[in-house]
Amino acid sequence: MIEVLPGIYRHTSSAHVYAVCDQSRGDSGSAVLVNIGDGSVLDDLPPHIRQVRAVLLTHHHRDVAAGAARAVQGGIPVYAPEGEGPSLLHPQEALSLADLRNNYEGRPWVWTVPEGAQTQPLRAYQTFTFGALSFTVRPTPGPTPSAVSLLLDRPGGLLAFTGSLLYAPGQVARLASTQWTYNGGEGLAGTVLSLLDLADWNPVRVLPAHGEIMAPEALMITAEALRPLLALRRQNPRLWALRDQPYAELRPWLLMNRTSLSCAYVLRAQSGRALMIDFGYDFCFGQANSTAQNARRPWLYTLPRLLSQFGVSGIDAVIPTHYHDDHVAGIPLLREVYGAQLWAPENMVEVLAVPERHRLPCLWFEGMAADRSLPLGQPLTWEEFQITPYELPGHARSAAALLVETAEERVLFGGDQYSGADGLDLNYTYPNLFREGDYVQSAELYARLRPQLMLSGHNAPLVPPEGYFEALLDRGQQLQALHASLQPHTARLLVQAEPITVVSGGPVTLTLENPTDVAFEGEVLLSGRANDVSDHSLPVQLPPRSTQNLIFTPRGPPGSRLHFELRGPPGEPSQFTHVTISSAAPSLALSDPSGDEDAS
C-alpha cells in the first residue's frame, strides 16, 4: 500500500482501493475505504491504521466490491449505492441473470460479486460523515445505472473518487459496461453527463478505481472523447444541447423540462419562487430494460440550471398528476435536497404513502407522505396562481387533472389521460383499474373546464382546436359502448383486494365494482392454503354503478395465499385476485361486511 496523497493510501488488487485516513487530531488511526477490491486490502493496511470505520462502494461490480462480504464478516459496515444492495446481498440471483436463455439483458451480470454481503444505502446527494471525514454522494451513472462518485472536501481542495467512470484522460474503464440494453448506448450518455457534472464541481484530483490519479481536466477530456462514439451510433444526439438548455419557456411563468422521461412543468411566480407539476426521472438519457430499482435512477440533474437560468430562488412544492414512477420518483430527492413539499391531491395520498399495499403498475419503491392533502374540486391559491385538482380516472384510478388559472389563461395539466399529437388517444390501462365510463367522465370534465392550453405527460403542448371537446366525448362514449358489447357482463366488473400482503389475522378489504348500467348477481368464492376449513361462497348483488366492500381476516402459514373469485352467471368468465399471508396462523376467519359474524 502506497501513500498517493497526504493521508490517502492506495492498495491495488482487482481494482484500486483508497484508504482515507482521519487526520483530525494529527492521528491517522482510523480510515474509510473507498471500494474494497478482492478484500486483500484488509491484509495490507499501514500499521498506523487500527480501525476501518466503513467501506464505501461506488458500484456493485466484482472488481470493486468482491471483498464486501469479508469486510462485513469482520464487523466493518459496507455502504453501496441505493438500488444496488439487492445484487450485493443476493449475488446468486444476479449471476443467474447472465445464464438466462433468450437473454436480451445488456448489463454484464457476470461481473457480480461471488459472495453476498449486507450493505447500507448510499443515498444520492447525502453527506456521510465518519469522524472528520465527510463524503458527499453524487449520482454518476455510466458503469451501472446506479453508480455514484464520492466527493471529499479537504483543506487542499475537493477530491472525486469516481469508481469505474473513467480510466484515464480520454478513456473509460470499460465500454461494455455502458451498454445497459441489448444494443443500446445508454451508459455512454450517462457517462458523459456524469463527467460533465463532476467537472462543474471543480475537484483538484480525480481518483479512479482503475488507472492513475488525474487532474480535473480529465473529466472534460473524457466527455469530449466519447462524443464521436455517441454521434457514430446516433445515441442521444441532443445531449449537449439539452444539458445547456433543459427547460423550454412556454410562457413567462411556465416552463417545461425537455429532458425528463415524462414532462415535468414549473410554475414560476413573480417572486422567484417555483412550484413543480410532476417530477419523475430528470434528464432521462436512456434506461436499462429492467424495472428493478437498480435500473431506475431518479436524480436532480437539471435543477441547478433551473435556478440559475430562470432566476428561481427556491421550489415551494410539487403536485403530481398521478402516482406512476415516471411522474413521482424524483420527489423524495427534491424534498430532501431543495426542501420542496409534496402537495398531493387527496385521491392519491394513500397510494403515494404506502405503495406496498397496492397491486398497481408503475409504483415507485419508496413511500412518500404528503405534506399537504389537496381536496378535489377546491381551489388553492399559491402566489398569483389559482390551482384546482379534479378527479381524473382513466389512465390511472388515483389521478387528478390540475387546472391552473392566471389573470390571462386557463391551463390544464392532464398527466397521461390522453396522448397522441392531437390529444385524442385514449390512454387507458386495465391494471390501473380502468372503468369503461372513465373517458366519458373525463371528456365531460374537460368540456366544463374549457382550458385554453392543455399539457400532458408525454406529448407537446396542445391548444384545443374547434370541436376538440366534442370529439373527446364522442370517443369516450364509443369506448364505453364497445366495452359493453365486446365482453360478457362479469368481465366488465373490477375486483381488488388490499392490502395485497397482510399479517396473519389482519383485515383485508375486497372491493367489488360494477361500473355498468346493469345489475349484477353472483358469488365470491374463497380458496387457497390460507383457507384451511373449506371453500367459502358468499352471494353478491351489485346494483348498477355501485361498489361493495367485503372485509376478511385471513389466517395461514407464511407465504400462503387467500384467493378470491368473483363468479357470475354460468359460463361467463370469472374475475380473480388474491392476498398473501406474511406470518403464520392456523386458520381463516371470514367476516361479513358488518364484522358481526365469523364464517369459519
Helix, strand, or coil (residue 289): coil
Q: What are phi and psi of 585, to 5 degrees?
A: -165, 155
Q: What are phi and psi of 303, to 5 degrees?
A: -65, -40
pLDDT at residue 252 in the model:
96
Return the pLDDT at 92. Answer: 95
| Per-residue pLDDT at 209 exceeds 90 | yes
| pLDDT tens readout for residues 509-535 | 999 999 999 999 999 999 988 775 466
Statement: residue 584 has pLDDT above 80: no
Contact (CB, 8 A) for 331 and 325: no
pLDDT-derived band at 105 (thresholds 50, 70, 90) equals: confident
**What is the b/e burial string over 112-127, where b = at least 16 CB atoms within 10 angstroms of the residue's CB?**
bbeebbebeebbbeee
Q: What is the mean pLDDT of residues 323-340?
A: 98
C-alpha cell at 101: 436463455
Look at residue 325 and tell me whether its pLDDT is greater than 90: yes
Residue 599 has pLDDT above 70, yes or no: no
Q: Is the pLDDT of residue 479 over 90?
A: yes
- pLDDT tens digits along 564-580: 999 999 999 999 999 99
Percent of the chain with pLDDT over 70: 96
Residue 595: pLDDT band with limits 50, 70, 90: very low
Q: 152 and 134 in contact (C-beta within 8 Å)?
A: yes
Dmax (CA) for the chain in angstroms is 83
Mean of the pLDDT values across residues 113-123? 97
Q: Which three cell numbers stand for residue 419?
A: 396522448
CA distances from 304 to 89, 282, 311, 334, 517 (A): 35, 12, 11, 12, 53
Other C-beta atoms closer than 10 Å to the C-beta of 180 total 25
pLDDT at residue number 281: 97
DSSP 8-state assignment for residue 56? E
Question: In the beta sheet, which residues pair with residue 529?
Answer: none
Given this model, what pLDDT does residue 27 score? 57
310 half-sphere exposure, CB direction, 13 A CA radius: 32
Report pLDDT digits (tens) over 366-383. Answer: 999 999 999 999 999 999
**pLDDT of res. 28:** 60
Give me the pLDDT at residue 596, please. Answer: 28
Question: pLDDT over 90 for what percent of the chain?
Answer: 91
Residues paired with residue 157 on neighbouring β-strands, in sequence order: 154
Cα radius of gyration (the chain): 27
The predicted structure's pLDDT at residue 588: 36
Range of 411-415, 581-585, 596-600 with top mean pLDDT: 411-415
**Residue 583 scores a pLDDT above 80:** no
Amino acid type, 161: F
Residue 487 region by backbone torsions, left for phi larger than 0, else alpha for psi between -120 and 50, else beta: beta
Cα 431-106-196 angle, rounded to 5 deg: 100
Mean pLDDT, rounded, of the chain: 94
b/e for 510-547, b at 16 or more Cβ within 10 A? bebbbbbeeebebebbbebebbeeeebebebebeeeee
As a whole number, mean pLDDT of residues 51-77 equals: 98
Dihedral angle at the C-alpha atoms of 4, 8, 11, 15, nearest 10 degrees?
-90
Model confidence at 196: pLDDT above 50 = yes
Task: Encode burial over 468-506: b for 16+ CB neighbours within 10 A, e otherwise.
Answer: bbeebbebbeebbeebeeeeebbebbbbbbbbbebebbb
